[in-house]
Amino acid sequence: MTRIATRPCSFRTSEMLRQGGVHPVLARLFASRGLTDVRELSSELAALVPPSGLLHIDAAAVFLADAIAAQKRMVIVADYDCDGATACATALRGLRAMGAHVDYIVPNRFEYGYGLTPEIVALTAREKTPDIIITVDNGIASIDGVLAAKQLGIDVVVTDHHLPGDTLPEARVIVNPNQPECGFPSKNLAGVGVVFYVLLALRAELRRRGVFDAQTQPKLDNLLDLVALGTVADVVKLDANNRILVAQGIKRMRAGRMHAGVAALFRVAGREARSASPFDLGFAVGPRLNAAGRLDDMSLGIECLITDDEGRAWAIAQQLNDINLKRREIEADMQDTALLHLDAFEPATSSTICVFDESWHQGVIGIVASRLKEKFFRPTITFAPGSDGWLKGSGRSIPGFHLRDALDLVSKRAPSLIDKFGGHAMAAGLTIRADALDAFSEAFETVGRALLTQQQLERVIETDGPLEDAYYTTQFIEVIDGQVWGQGFAPPVFCDEFRVISQRILKERHLKLLLERNGQRYDAIWFGHTASVGDRARVAFRLDANEYNGVTRVQLMVEHAEPA
């Protein structure tokens, strides 16, 4: 079931924002997303929450400043997704600019698993002989790995944003806004955001020591294109602090002041950096970077982000694009197989989905879980074969069902079922024995039924209600596009009744419509939908500026429609 709902909006808050100089429609949109103060709309760097609020960040800055002074060898151990790659590139560029002797290693996920495992520590020690390991976008759950490093005399600095378990690793320093007793107000920093904050604190420490002054210190704002890309691609909540980081990064991209690799990824994706948006980062640039970690290892993606040679960046971006095309093919096959497995699936009698196929690729199961979750609107875990009788699972959730907490509940109720797990509210990963699949599916469904109400299992298209006639314009679309929208700060979706003048199917996959309201006609398209709508429809839609033959017109992108 899918229904359209209108977001509640405080008229008083909306009016206060409008009186504060905010565009009248934006005032309504912001108020319905919980904004109460014009100051929360600032996208200037000066409005960032200061680093000092992050627990142990000063200790990390002092430790790293001492290490740089002693010319100790540092190695960054990165995660293999877009957040991990951008965090690694940010750390490498920032630390090198401050005089650090630093290298990186990114494990092949299929050989070494997730996080700082003892095997990765052994590999790092053998290949890089570091004095210090710095984790980025991982490490908070790496208790055994940190212990293994300690036994080899290697200090570990953990920078991460994932939720910790009951026990923390015995690292030299841990910087993570989600660790116990950390009062940092922006709990939603991505891994790359945490690293950026560590660099800000380190630079301040080096200024205090007289290594730099305000004139000679490295400019860290030139890393913000990387920070924005990792933040959007990791789908963390865009709270006020993250919106500043993303807005500043996008501003640099639009001005052409981005790293060679980011520019090359825009180009290979056929997107214009001068009109960069969070949508481009999440759905065009990010997936091409992610593809390397999904099918191979992320070294290629990191190399793309750390080179300043435009020719090399372009060559790597083309390789990444080829890998992404291969990833899409694999994904399409896996999705078809998944739908065959789920042929008899009855959403009305199930709260969750677990599905496995012997032929599936570990690196792509997360995307397939995401697609199935979108189709059936159920928390979904897809499994692929691991090594020696193990299965690797990747899950995606729906609002109101905290996936990591649900897995925690399963493991508490049936301690032998899950070998290891980790993640967030909306996405998580786990490992189980192959012979435990049926028992796990049953236990997961039991937790789903206990935690989810029938109402939560209905897909709700949240809208911002009707849009006044005067704003169906390309000028208003520019006003909307000037803001940062994304996870937790949803892009505007309006809703109104229209007369359906005509409708036809395009390319056997999409519904093309001509809609009329108050004497005005609008082109509209509903992607991935072919069933016709009635003569009058209640339509939830986004505004889009469609350019054709040099003329730009307003087009409605239909999210959902129901009979009026």
pLDDT at 280: 97
pLDDT at 380: 98
pLDDT at 459: 94
- DSSP letters, 24-79, are HHHHHHHHHTT---GGGG--SGGGSPPGGGSTTHHHHHHHHHHHHHTT-EEEEEE-
Residue 437: band (very low, low, confident or very high) from pLDDT cuts 50, 70, 90: very high
pLDDT tens digit string along 224-235?
999 999 999 998
Is the per-residue pLDDT at 472 higher than 80? Answer: yes
pLDDT at 411: 96
Q: Are 536 and 563 in contact (CB under 8 A)?
A: yes
- Cα distance between residue 254 and residue 271, in whole Å: 12
Mean pLDDT of 19-34: 97
Q: Mean pLDDT lowest for which of 173-187, 240-254, 287-301?
A: 287-301
Is the per-residue pLDDT at 281 higher than 90? Answer: yes
Mean pLDDT of 409-429: 91
Residue 328: band (very low, low, confident or very high) from pLDDT cuts 50, 70, 90: very high
Interacting residues of 91 by C-beta distance below 8 A, sequence separation 6+? 76, 102, 104, 134, 136, 159, 195, 198, 199
Mean pLDDT of 275-297: 94
Is the per-residue pLDDT at 251 higher than 90? Answer: yes
Q: At what angle do helices 286-295 and 224-233 cross, to 10 degrees?
A: 70
Mean pLDDT across the chain: 96
The CATH code of domain 342-457 reads 3.10.310.30
pLDDT tens digit string along 498-518?
999 999 999 999 999 999 999
Is the per-residue pLDDT at 298 higher than 90? Answer: yes
pLDDT at 109: 75
- Cite the beta strand spans of 415-535 per DSSP E: 418-423, 427-433, 459-463, 494-506, 510-517, 520-526
- In the chain, list all ranges with CATH 3.90.1640.30: 51-243
The CA dihedral of 164, 170, 173, 175, to the nearest 10 degrees, is: 0
- Burial of 414 per CB tally in 10 Å (0-12, 13-18, 19+): middle
- In the chain, list all ranges with CATH 3.10.310.30: 342-457
Interacting residues of 263 by C-beta distance below 8 A, sequence separation 6+? 256, 273, 310, 313
| DSSP label of 351 | S
Lateral strand order in the sheet of 418-423 = 353-356, 380-385, 390-396, 427-433, 418-423
Fold entry, domain 51-243: inorganic pyrophosphatase (n-terminal core) (3.90.1640)
pLDDT at 111: 80
Q: Are 392 and 384 in contact (CB under 8 A)?
A: yes
Mean pLDDT of 136-160: 97
Tokens of 73: 């060898």
pLDDT tens digit string along 374-418?
999 999 999 999 988 999 999 999 999 999 999 999 999 999 999
Residue 439: band (very low, low, confident or very high) from pLDDT cuts 50, 70, 90: very high
Mean pLDDT of 34-58: 95
3-state SS, 386-418, equals: CCCCEEEEEEECCCCCCHHHHHHHHHHHCCCCE
pLDDT at 311: 98
- In the chain, list all ranges with CATH 2.40.50.460: 461-563
Mean pLDDT of 302-319: 98
pLDDT at 120: 95
Is the per-residue pLDDT at 302 higher than 90? Answer: yes
CATH architecture of residue range(s) 461-563: Beta Barrel (2.40)
Residue 423: band (very low, low, confident or very high) from pLDDT cuts 50, 70, 90: confident
Residue 77: band (very low, low, confident or very high) from pLDDT cuts 50, 70, 90: very high
With pLDDT > 70 as the criterion, what percentage of the chain qualifies? 100
| Residues 486-507 as b or e (16 or more Cβ within 10 Å = b) | bbebbbbbbbbebebeebeeee
Is the per-residue pLDDT at 113 higher than 80? Answer: no
pLDDT at 448: 97
Is the per-residue pLDDT at 261 higher than 80? Answer: yes
Helix (H) or strand (E) holding 356: strand 353-356
- Cα distance between residue 58 and residue 111, in whole Å: 35
Helix (H) or strand (E) holding 553: strand 551-563
